Amino acid sequence: MKRIKLVAIIAALIAGVGIYQLLKDISKPQEVPRTQVVVALVDIPKNKVVTADMVALTPVATEALLPNVIKDPESIIGKVLSSAVYTGEQITINRIVQEEQTDNLSYRVTPGKRAISLAVSQVSGVAYMVKPEDHVDIVMTYNVEEEVETKKAEDSAKRDADAGDSEDDEAAEGASNRAGSEEEETGEPETVTVTYTRYLIQDVRILAVDAVMSESGLSEFTTVTLELDPEDVLKIINADLQCSLRLALRNGRDTEIQETIDVDLSYIVGKEDTP
């Protein structure tokens, strides 16, 4: 009987030790696997450019990670978010605006540049063969009122010759010499319209044709949207109201800006003065 009691006591002690150890293990904090991911330090609105002070790497329980969560802060700095992100929220790749995939034109405009649309025809638009991401030159044709000196129409030599049939050859020769001198004299200035053509802006990026921004473009369109410096936007608007504009398509590898001159008809035909 005593032996049975001893065995029971020993079993109870063993069970007590086991239960104590189990309770101790349960109460001991468990180490949760964590992963460093990018989270927002502040609320970041939609379309806001992300800066370094807005995000940070933070350890998050691995089992709580969102799909496609960003783990490198450098990959998001300078990017724009497609939707708002709130403080402490994990930032995923799909929240970043992909410029080549978005239909929002503002994301495609280079910082510091502006987008402006220009009406074109089949002729001025290079037979509808320009496409988004092509580069073109903008050529302007305009009229200028200029004053030119006119030559006297009188031909004294002929007049003297007609009036002096009875005079000798020496007198006729003298009249001819006087006529040559008089032809060099000029009359009153005359106002004429001279048409000039010049390169207005070179190496301009096309953002869209009509509302299409994909490089496949359109077979026909009525407008092209150009990316320009702010000052060039003013030039285009003014020139479009008063002049004739055409596009000249460039080779995609050609970025050289060439020195050019204003050309009029007299330059084309090789004369110093227009007729």
Which secondary-structure segment (H or E) carries 149?
A: strand 135-151
Q: What is the mean pLDDT of the chain?
A: 81
Q: Which residue has the higher pLDDT, 8 or 43?
A: 43
pLDDT of res. 227: 97
3-state secondary structure of 34: strand
Angle between helix 169-183 and helix 156-163 axes, rounded to 10 deg: 160
DSSP state of 35: E
| Domains of the chain, CATH where assigned | 34-95 (3.90.1210.10), 114-144+194-252+260-269 (no CATH), 151-189 (no CATH)
Distances (CA, A) of 196 to 120, 199, 247, 265: 20, 10, 16, 8
pLDDT in tens, 36-54: 999 999 999 988 889 999 9
| CA-wise closest residue to 90 among 52, 143, 133, 35 | 35
pLDDT of res. 242: 94
Query: Residue 232 corresponds to which tokens in the numbers above?
Result: 């060039």
Q: Which residues fall within 8 angstroms of residue 3, CB to CB, at 6 or more apart?
A: none
Query: Residue 80 corresponds to which tokens in the numbers above?
Result: 């724009």
